[in-house]
Structures are given as structure tokens and as C-alpha cells.
Structure 1
Amino acid sequence: MTGGTGYIGSALLDQLVAAGHTVTALVRGDDAAGKVRKAGAEAAVGDLFDTGWVAERFASADGVVHTAATGDARNAEFDRSVVRAAAQALAGTGKPYVHTSGIWIYGDNAGITEDSPFVPPALTAWRGAVERSVLDADLTATIVAPGVVYGHGGGIPGGVLAAQRDEAGRVRLVGDGSQHWATVHVEDVAALYVTVVERGERLGYLVAASGVNPTVRELAEAAAGAAGVAPETADASRERLGALFADALLLDQQTAAAKAKALGWTPVRPALVEELRTGSYPRLS
């Protein structure tokens, strides 16, 4: 797997090890190698942009999960390189390759399914071509598209809602807060990856979300408690958060994630509103 020390990847690594799988995590340095070994995995240290090196490691595995991301402008290049490695190593083998996308590719949509048209914001517009190359290759491929991932105090909710206050201590909304976010707990989404790997089938796109789609206002109110919330214009959110990121957060998205649940996957962790109110995120009042 890639991304074994990341937010989703570390949860997935723990669950794969707990399920009895032997996991090799491809990492960039010794610090990351130490972390994955402590979690019970083997580590392979190298340059994850080196397609040939990555392909050699992929070829020796029974299946591959790609959850790593650079988090910067190189992400598209990185994904393309990993997909080339997967195609070189796994095409025609029947071994599963699981690629990570994101629900933002579907744009504004109150009833997202895997067959919904792609209307991505500029931030993730690059994903379409990369993911087409996954599905066009002779791979036993699944592309998991998680919603807004939360849990353990991390993810977008921790940085965008729980920690963002105005001068009066109120939680800042993104826009007026009327937009819905499709959400999923990091442990639940990790469990879905395990399900996909163990099935070993070509499933195409797979939306990973709990089916709970709160508004941003509902989330902010849960985080704020008595401190209250502060709406703002969309332009103000773009200025505060950066236009590309804000436009993604302003998307109004809802989904039931029926295809994933039909595989037997059942999200069981607390909903994000509950997490913000009483769980792993800091209260602001």
C-alpha cells in the first residue's frame, strides 16, 4: 500500500494488520518506515515518483491500495506515476488495485451515485483523466471516492470548522452554511477498503460515505456550542481559505452510498455532528 502513515492510510494499515494480512507500506523515509513497522507492517523505503521502483514492489504483492497524496501541486503527477506502476505490475494478473479519488468529482448533487456525471471543482479537475487511465487499463480496479472524512479530531472538519473562529469566538461557516457535506468516519472508510481488497473484484467507482449528509451550519453549530456561528459570503470564504479549496467546500453534496452498502459494508462510527459535539474534536465553549 501507499500512504500508510496518512490519515486514511494509517487507519487502513491498522485494520489490514488486525485482519491478518501481511502489509508492505511504501514510504519515503526512515521516520515513516519506523511508524509503519511499529504498526505491524513491513516498510519499503524509496522514491514513490520512481515508476519502475514502485512497479517492482507492486508486482510482488497480492493486491495494492493507493491512498497516498502529496497534498500539493504535484499530486496529479504523483497519481499518474502510481497508476503507470500499477498498470505495469498488475495488468492482466487479476490482482486487485484500489485507487483513491474523492466525492468532490461529482460537484453539486443532492443524490450522488457512481453513475452521476463528473462536475469537479477546479481543485480536483485533474482526477478525471488519471482515473480514466485506471479504468482503461487491464486492471482489476476499484476507485474509492470518500466523502468528507472525519474522526480522531482530524480531517477537514478539524481544520475548517472546529479551529476557525472570528474575533467574537464564533465558529466561521463556509459561505452561509446551507450546503450539505457527504461524510464518513475514517475508521469506516478504512473498513470499506478492507472489504474491497478482500473481495478482489473490479468494482469501478465506489462512493464511500455514511449516508449522513449534514449541512455545514449544523456541523458548525455542533462544534461551537454556546459560542455560536458566523456566516460569511462565498467570496469571503474564498479569500479566507483560498478560492480553490473554498469552492470545493461550498459544494452541496448528498449521497446514500447504496453501492458500497450492498457489498455488506455498514458504517458504525458516530456521525460527524455527534463527534463535533461530544467526541474527538475540541469544543470552542
Structure 2
Amino acid sequence: MTGGTGYLGSALLAELVGAGHSVTALVRNEAGAAKATGLGARAAVGDLFDTGWLTEQFAAADAVAHLAATGDAGTRDLDRGVVSAVTAALGGTTKPYVHTSGIWLWGDNADITEQAPPAPPALTAWRRPVEQSVLESGLAATILAPAIVYGHGAGIPAGVFGRDDEGRVRLIGDGSQHWATVHVDDIATLYRTVLERGEGLGYLVGASGESPTVRELGEALAGDAAVAPESIEASRERLGALFADALLLDQQASGAKARELGWTPKGPSLLDDFRTGSYAS
């Protein structure tokens, strides 16, 4: 797997090891190797942009999961290279490949399903052609699209609210938009479920079915304090235009297809986690 030392990736690594699987984590440096081995994986240190090296590593595996990201525009080139390598390594086999997408692919949508028309924001619009190449590759591929991932006080929800000078919790926009959500431990379980099934499922939405509004989340985080709505322009200035535009999307999803696989989310809701859990101040 790639990305095994990241927020979601480390949860998946622990999930796989805990289920008795032998995992090779492809990492960029010795620090990453130490973290991966500490979680019970074998670490392979190399350049994730080296498609030849990636191909060798993938060819030795029974399944491949790609979760790595650079955190900037370089993720597009990384994904293209990974898809090229995994196609060369697993093409003509039935070995499963799980590629990571995201819920923003479907834009504003009150009932996101895998069949909904794509309408990604500018931040992630590049993903669509890469994912189409995966689906057209002949691989036993699943494009897993997690909702907004949270849990253990980390992820996107930990860094986008903040407080103003009066101690009020800042919303993103007026807070009327819904966020489709999923706990990090639950989405890790879904990745494992897909890998163990060993078949290509096409697009798969990973959402808990809980889709609170940003205002509800802000109020849960604020407790006895107040919330502070922002103009769209203010949110774009504070968070960056592309990121803010993604967070302003109004999205809801049930994750029905994932549940048909026997997946049952068990983590606390993001609202509860904000009120009394890992995000509570």
C-alpha cells in the first residue's frame, strides 16, 4: 500500500495487520519506514514517482491500495504514475486494486450515489480523468471515495473552524451546507472489506449516512459559545479559494452500496465527537 503513514493510511495499515494480513508499506524515507514498521508492516523505502520501482513492488503483492498524496498539485502526477505502475504490474491478473478518490467528485448533491453525474470543484477536477483511466484499464479496480474523514481529533474537521477574537467558532460560509462524513476507523474497515473481496467494484462511496450541516457542527464544537457565519469571500480568503469552495459544497450520502457489502459504520458521529469526543475543547 501507499500512504500507509498518513492519517487514513495508518488506520488502514493497522486494520489490515489486525486482521492478520501481511502488509508492505511503500514509504519515502526512513522516518516513514519506522512508523510503518511500528504499526506492524514491512516497509519498502523508495521514490513513489519512480514507476519502475513501483511496478516491481506492486507485482509482488496480492492486492494494492493507493492512499498516498503529496498535499499539493503533485498528487496528480503521483496518481498518474501509480496507475501506470499498477496497470503494468497487475494487468491480466485478478489481483484487486483500490484507488482513493473523494466525495467532492459529485459536487452539490443531496443524495450522492455512485451513479450520480460528476461535478467536482476545481480543487479535485483533475481526479476524474485519472479515475477513468483506472476503470478502463481492465484491472479488478475499485475507486473508493471517502466522505469527509474524521476521528481521533484529526482530519479536515480539526483545522477549518477555528475561533475569532470573541471566541466564537467560525463557520465556512453561512454553515447551511451539509457535509457527508465517515469515521477514519470505519473507512479503514471498508478498504479492508473491499480488498478481501478481491473484485473490482467500480466507484464506491464511503459515507456513514450522517450528513450534518456545518452550522450544526459549529454549534456542537462551540458548546456554550456562539458561532460566527462568514461570507463566502471571507471563507475563501481564510482557507484558500479552492479549498473553501470544496468545503462549501452541499453534500449528503447514505453509503448504501457499501452497506450492501456488509459494512456497518460503528464510530461516533462527527457531531458527538465534536460535543464530547476527540475534538471537544
TM-score, structure 1 normalization: 0.98
Counterpart of 2:181 in structure 1 is 183
Counterpart of 2:164 in structure 1 is 166
Residue 12 (str. 1) matches residue 12 (str. 2):
yes
Q: Distance in 2 between matches of 1:15 and 1:74?
A: 28
SS at match of 1:57: helix
Contact 2:69/2:75 (<8 A) preserved: yes
Q: Distance in 1 between matches of 2:259 and 2:83?
A: 27
Which of 197, 210, 213 aligns to 1:212? It is 210
For 1:184, give the aligned amino acid: V
Residue 234 (str. 1) matches residue 244 (str. 2):
no
Residue 57 (str. 1) matches residue 47 (str. 2):
no
Once the two structures are TM-superposed, the CA of residue 22 in structure 1 deviates from its matched residue by: 0.3
Identity %: 69
Q: Distance in 2 between matches of 1:92 and 1:170?
A: 56
Once the two structures are TM-superposed, the CA of residue 282 in structure 1 deviates from its matched residue by: 3.6
Which of 226, 241, 249 aligns to 1:251? It is 249
Aligned length: 281
Which of 240, 258, 261 aligns to 1:260? It is 258
SS at match of 1:43: strand
Contact 2:8/2:184 (<8 A) preserved: yes
User: Map of 1:59-74 to 2, 5 A cutoff?
Assistant: 59-74=59-74
Counterpart of 2:122 in structure 1 is 122
CA RMSD in angstroms, aligned pairs only: 0.5
Which of 189, 192, 195 aligns to 2:193? It is 195
For 1:203, give the aligned amino acid: L
User: Map of 1:94-109 to 2, 5 A cutoff?
Assistant: 94-109=94-109
Give 5+ residue unaligned stretches, structure 2: none
Counterpart of 2:149 in structure 1 is 149
Q: Distance in 2 between matches of 1:30 and 1:202?
A: 33
Q: Distance in 2 between matches of 1:4 and 1:228?
A: 38
Q: Distance in 1 between matches of 2:158 and 2:225?
A: 17
Counterpart of 2:85 in structure 1 is 85
For 1:49, give the aligned amino acid: F
TM-score, structure 2 normalization: 0.99
SS at match of 2:25: strand
